[in-house]
Amino acid sequence: MMTAEEALERLKEGNQRFVARLSSGETPLSPSPRFELSNDQNPFAIILGCSDARVPAEIVFDQGLGDLFVIRVAGNIVASSQVGSIEFAASRFGTRLVVVLGHSQCGAIRATIEQLQQPVENQSRHLRSIVDRVRPSVEGLLKTELRHDHDSLVRLAVRANVGVSVSHLRYGSDVLEQLIRDNGLRVVGAEYSLETGVVEFFDQL
């Protein structure tokens, strides 16, 4: 079984390969061969990422089929279904690393800021459910001078939102808390840069 530390290092190395391909103009696709995975899988990391089409985790970490257990939802928010999916993967496969992966210029963050600054009447309740989960990460920042600097506001709100999701996973699930306490599970935050392709990890294991 791969430890959280080993899994994190593998993700970092994969992202370095991805960035190198971007800078060289090569197609940034994993070179891994197609494995026979019809009967089993053994993902070494769980990624809770944003649904943004520009941030496919398998590609930005240069991994192949079966390597990552990926959950994608707008704004990389944490709701019951995401928690359950992570509990399933960590318990069933013994995966010891969970990464909450946000990204620069996140549309869900921007939409939440817009809704808080200029509320839209009759917003879809489904969209509102996403905004409501991102809201705690944004409201405090809107009370500071950052409200006058949109780019900085979005940048810091992205990181704050990742931090909130990390906290929800660390402290909002009895199953995950036990795995963290007894089995070496780690939950860390990270941000993918659309501009450079680099993933920056916030937390040390």
Question: Which pLDDT score is estimated for 159?
Answer: 96
What is d(CA 82, CA 88) in angstroms, rounded to the nearest whole number?
10
Domain that holds residue 31: 4-201
Tell me if residue 67 falls in helix, strand or coil.
coil
Instruction: Domain count for the chain, please give it.
Output: 1
Q: For the chain, which residues score pLDDT lower than 50?
A: none
CA dist., res. 60 & res. 12, Å (int): 10
Instruction: Please report, for the domain that includes residue 174, its CATH number.
Output: 3.40.1050.10
Q: What is the pLDDT of residue 173?
A: 97
Share of the chain above pLDDT 70, in %: 92
The burial of 153, by beta-carbon neighbours within 10 Å (0-12 exposed, 13-18 middle, 19 or more buried), is given as buried
Cross-strand pairs, 186: 97
pLDDT tens for 73-127 read: 999 999 999 999 999 999 999 999 999 999 999 999 999 999 888 887 777 888 8
In whole numbers, what is the pLDDT of the chain averaged over residues? 90
